[in-house]
Amino acid sequence: MKIGILTSGGDCPGLNAVIRGSVLKGVISYDTEFVGFRNGWRGVVEEDIVPIVRHDVRGLAKQGGTILGSSRTNPFEGEGGGPEKIQEMLDRNGIDAIVAIGGEGTLTAARRLYDEGGIKVIGVPKTIDNDLAATDYSFGFDTAVQIATEAIDRLRTTADSHGRCMVLEVMGRHVGWIALHSGMAGGAHAILIPEQPQSIEQIAEWVESVRDRGRAPLVVVAEGFKFDDMAEAHSHKGLDAFNRPRLGGIAELIAPMIEERTGIESRATVLGHIQRGGEPTAFDRVLATRLGMAVVDAVHDGAWGSMVTLRGTDIETVSIADAVGTLNRVPQSRYDEAKILFG
Ligand code: F6P
């Protein structure tokens, strides 16, 4: 049995731990051979394949990024794209199955390849945003929360020294899990997430109540947050026609609005790709390793079109169809719980 592994979409701490988990499990338990497709689906379409042996995964659990590289290539595009060409490529190289490690886009493509062409593919969920349905947590999320929490702790000392309001922007295009968890862990006075639009009046009220208690206000905002009153935001000429900040991130729009309304000097920090880089936390290493091992079992069971997933503390297998199409959003109850601590 020969398995081809790929990592696709935005990188994520823990990808290398999945590769290591798979290779060790495959070599030790099944005498499986492994190859890697370089740069995600691009390696599949362009037949860019490298061997992976046990020696290659030594010490890899703690290494950030992905040794295979990544891209956002669509496997249905390009000369070698589409299920027929891909099956020919797999046959030519003696590859029996593909393990696709990726988020919503990668898994949707994997499912289509299986549904439309019978490609033997199994998915492993990956996202720092924790926005994938059908898994309780995805690896990379814990690391991102840890990094964002450290940033909040650091911002707090400089905020206190100057009596400033700090606005920290974290990742989360569609969901606010990183903002919610880091904001709770770091004791933020307001958490702004895509699932819960707010008015600038409400944000200013939270900030002022913190100032009135003699504290320096700290606001955490997910990059996908939007005001509930877009007219108000447009009046600041900060958003484009798609409601995206014109310059910089949403934090750079909100900080001056807070300053204008409250008179509190405000600063914006955009954490950006720092929260996706570096070593994964121990939690993410363990989760990624377990998923990597489980996907090899799934391959040997012939569970094509499925995805390995975390349910409670168990690793299970679900259909990829159950994991794509719906996002794992922050529920109202979790936001209400955090909101008690605002202001
Ligand atoms: O989907 C993960 C994510 O980290 C998002 O939170 C963020 O919006 C996006 O990737 C950034 O993508 P890129 O690395 O392509 O700029």
- Predicted complex ipTM: 0.94
**Averages of pLDDT over each 10 residues, the chain, 343 residues:** 97 98 98 98 97 97 98 93 97 98 96 97 97 95 98 97 98 97 98 97 97 97 90 59 64 96 97 97 98 98 98 97 94 98 92
**Residue 32: both structure tokens together:** 């499986």
Q: Sort strands 121-125 and 314-319 into parallel, antiparallel or unpaired.
A: unpaired
253-293 pLDDT per residue, tens: 999 999 999 999 999 999 999 999 999 999 999 999 999 99
Q: Are residues 93 and 201 in the same domain?
A: no
Same domain, residue pair 158 and 203: yes
Last residue of a domain, one of 218, 241, 276: 276
In a domain, 249, yes or no: yes
* 339 found inside a domain: no
> Rounded CA gap, 168 and 67, in Å?
30
Residue 340 forms part of a structural domain: no
Contact 10 CB / ligand 1 (< 6 Å)? yes
Residue 329 located in a structural domain: no
- Most ligand 1 atoms within 8 A of CB, residue of 106, 127, 129 to mutate: 129
Query: Rounded to two decimals, what is the model's pTM?
Result: 0.94
| Centre of ligand 1 from the C-alpha of residue 244, in Å | 15
Considering the domain architecture, whether residues 48 and 22 belong to the same structural domain is answered as: yes
CATH of the domain at 253: 3.40.50.460
Number of structural domains found in the chain: 2
Same domain, 110 and 13: yes
Which of 11, 129, 131, 284 is catalytic? The answer is 129
184 occurs within a structural domain? yes
Q: Kindly state whether residues 201 and 242 are assigned to the same domain.
A: yes
DSSP 7-68: E-SS--TTHHHHHHHHHHHIIIII--EEEEETTTHHHHHTT-EEEE-GGGGTTGGG--S-TT
